[in-house]
Amino acid sequence: MKKIILTLTICVLTLNTAIAQFDAAMFVSDAFLLDTYIKRQNKGINFKDTKSYKGTPYNNPNYLLGNIYKEGKLLANNIAIRYNAIADEMEVKQNPSDSDDDARVLTKSQDIYVKIIDAIYVFVPYQGGIEKGGYFQVIFEGNNIALYKKHVKDFSPEKKATSSITKTLPAVFKDKPVFYLVTKKGTFYQMPKSKAKKLKVFGEKQNKMKDFTKQNSLDLNKEQDLLTAIKYYDTL
């Protein structure tokens, strides 16, 4: 595995070949907090009642199989994980079929990262602190630059009917992802929403990037096209 590019906030991760087995004793270790996550940042709605809102507070509402690594070593493999984007937490349980009430939340640490199927998530502290830090998905790691994705949810609360001819509108979660260029020094550059302003992030190479995106009909507001552009930028 390539090393994650965040020299200021994340240790160099080297995958150990030893296989760590997930067991009940480890599940209640200091790497997994008690199931208090359901009480935090829940926007005043019951996440379990999926009929009460549209969209999802999770990156994927289903638990998917994945691995957890700590300090480059496999801590737990082939366990059920899902990312709660609203609470910015990793929810973990032993098996997808287990009750959600048996889930735990993964301790936030720059030494711990998660791989859910093929998606890698790293925790990045903010100014050295855990409280304002967050999880980022590693979309691309190049020789000179990386592309990270922050899963952000735009939340609109329930709107009660104001008369007999209006309807109550359920709460809504909309995906509003934010992308970042990350340098080898660990500097984050947020990609603006505007296509034109995105090009300015490339600095002195923005003209080359403008030509490349035009020649290849790339829309930098689309994730796959942005990834194609970043891969090219990494070669410049």
pLDDT 10s digits, 94-122:
888 988 888 888 888 899 999 999 999 99
The whole-number average pLDDT for the span 173-191 is 93
Mean per-residue pLDDT over the chain, rounded: 82
Q: Is the pTM of this model over 0.85?
A: no
SS3 state at 76: strand
Q: Which token pair is 8?
A: 């200021």
Over its C-alpha atoms, the chain yields an Rg (Å, rounded) of 20
Q: Measured between alpha carbons, how far is 16 from 71 in angstroms, rounded to an integer? A: 9
Show me where the domains of the chain are located: 24-190, 196-236
The whole-number average pLDDT for the span 142-158 is 93
219 closest CA partner among 180, 182, 193: 193
pLDDT given at position 23: 47
What does the angle CA 133 – CA 138 – CA 142 come to, to the nearest 5 degrees?
125
214, containing H or E segment: helix 206-215
pLDDT given at position 32: 60
Helix axes 223-233, 206-215, angle to 10 degrees: 130
- Output the CA–CA distances (angstroms, integers) from residue 160 to 42, 167, 170, 172, 213, in the order listed: 19, 7, 8, 13, 45
Confidence at 133, pLDDT banded by 50, 70, 90? confident
Question: Percentage of the chain surpassing pLDDT 70?
Answer: 80
In this predicted structure, the answer to whether residue 232 has a pLDDT above a threshold of 80 is yes
Q: Could you say which DSSP state residue 59 is in?
A: S
In this predicted structure, the answer to whether residue 44 has a pLDDT above a threshold of 80 is no
**Phi, psi at 5, each rounded to 5°:** -90, 95
pLDDT given at position 172: 93
Greater pLDDT, 200 or 42: 200
Question: Percentage of the chain surpassing pLDDT 90?
Answer: 50
Q: Measured between alpha carbons, how far is 188 from 190 in angstroms, rounded to an integer? A: 6
In this predicted structure, the answer to whether residue 209 has a pLDDT above a threshold of 80 is yes
Q: Measured between alpha carbons, how far is 26 from 29 in angstroms, rounded to an integer? A: 5
